[in-house]
Amino acid sequence: MLKIENLNVRYGVIEAIKDVSFEIKQGEIVALIGANGAGKTTILHAISGLLKPAGGKILLEDKDITKTGADKIVMMGLAQVPERRRVFAEQTVEENLELGAFTRKDKEGIAKDLEMIYTRFPRLKERRKQLAGTLSGGEQQMLAMGRALMAKPKILLLDEPSMGLAPLLVKEIFSIIEDINNQGTTVLLVEQNAKMALGIADRAYVLETGEIVLTGTGEELASSDAIKKAYLGG
Please check whether residue 173 is in contact with residue 165, taking contact to mean a CB–CB distance below 8 angstroms.
Answer: yes
CATH number of 2-92+153-231: 3.40.50.300
Beta-carbon contacts of 165 under 8 Å, excluding residues fewer than 6 positions away, are 137, 138, 141, 173
Residue 11 DSSP SS3? strand
Query: How many other C-beta atoms lie within 10 A of the C-beta of residue 167?
Result: 10
Q: What's the farthest any 2 CA atoms get from each other in the chain? A: 52
Comparing CA positions, the residue from 47, 53, 115, 55 lying closest to residue 82 is 47
d(CA 161, CA 140): 10
Measured in degrees and rounded to the nearest 5, phi and psi for residue 104 equal: -100, 155
Run means of pLDDT, 10 residues per run, the chain, 234 residues: 97 94 97 91 96 96 96 94 87 94 89 93 94 92 92 94 87 91 95 91 95 94 85 64
Beta strands (DSSP E) in the chain are 2-11, 14-24, 29-33, 55-60, 63-64, 78-81, 155-159, 186-191, 203-208, 211-217
Tell me what pLDDT residue 229 has: 81
DSSP-assigned letter for residue 1: -
> Which amino acid appears at position 207 of this protein?
L
pLDDT, one tens digit per residue, over 50-87 is 999 999 999 999 999 999 999 999 999 999 998 877 89
Residue type, 223: S
Alpha carbon dihedral 35, 39, 40, 43, in 10-degree steps, equals -170
Burial class (CB in 10 A: 0-12, 13-18, 19+), 107: exposed
